[in-house]
Structures are given as structure tokens and as C-alpha cells.
Amino acid sequence: MAQFLVAIHHPDNYDPSGETEAMMEEIHALNRDMIAAGVRIFAGGLTPASNAKSLRAQPGGKVLITDGPYLETKEHIGGFWILEAADLDEALAWGRKAVAACRAAVEVRPFFRSNIVPEK
């Protein structure tokens, strides 16, 4: 089984107060369906991108911390699921359901498979 990120994208000016009870119930139902199917590993919503801090390497081993997201874009990840699915087609099927429930753009991306275990 492969693991996939299913990310919900919101515009910069996204206002969560526009989320209706019906929308939230659809998202909760999707979560229940994912759990029942045994595909959901983790799910989480994120605060607005304006709450983000970005860290960048600087000369001399220093780190610069700035306000805001790393990328200057018009959309940011608002929430996500980590799923374990048989293949990309199955992950895309869950992504389609996420689009409907969240009423937002969704990105589905596989994780790299790695057999490397860090040494202690």
C-alpha cells in the first residue's frame, strides 16, 4: 500500500465563517468513510497562512525566521489527509470526495517510498 497526501487548497482570503453546518457534516462523513475503509492515517486542518512562519538557511549556519508562508501564492493548504491506498486511482477517488465535501480545490500527491531507516 502506498501513502498519499490529499491537500485542500484555500484562497488567501478564505473565510472559514462561510463553512456551513451541511459542509462540516459532509467533511465529518468523509472522515468516517475514510476510517471505515481503513485508508485514513491522519487528518488535520491548518490555521490561515498568515499564521505561518518560514525558516530559511543563512550563511554561517544561521536561520532566518520570517512571517508568512514560504511561497507567495494566491492559495495555501487549508487542511489535509494522509491516506494509505492501494494505488493512485484509489487516492484520486478519495480526492474527488474531498472536493465535493470541502467545496475547494484538492491536490493528491504520493509520498516517496523509502526503505531507509535512520541509524541511531
Share of the chain above pLDDT 70, in %: 94
Question: Is the separation of the CB atoms in 41 and 84 below 8 Å?
Answer: yes
Instruction: Say what the pTM is.
Output: 0.83
Grid coordinates representing 102 are: 470541502
For residue 29, CA distances in Å to 16, 25, 34, 97 come to: 19, 6, 9, 10
Amino acid at 98: A
- Collapsing DSSP to helix, strand or coil, 105 comes out as strand
pLDDT value of position 102:
94
- Give the tens place of pLDDT for each residue, 62-105: 999 998 877 778 888 999 999 999 999 999 999 999 999 999 99
Band (115; pLDDT cuts 50, 70, 90): low
- Residue with the bigger pLDDT between 51 and 60: it is 60
- Give the tens place of pLDDT for each residue, 26-36: 999 999 999 99
Pairwise CA distance, residues 100 & 6, whole Å: 13
- Residue with the bigger pLDDT between 18 and 28: it is 28
pLDDT value of position 116:
63
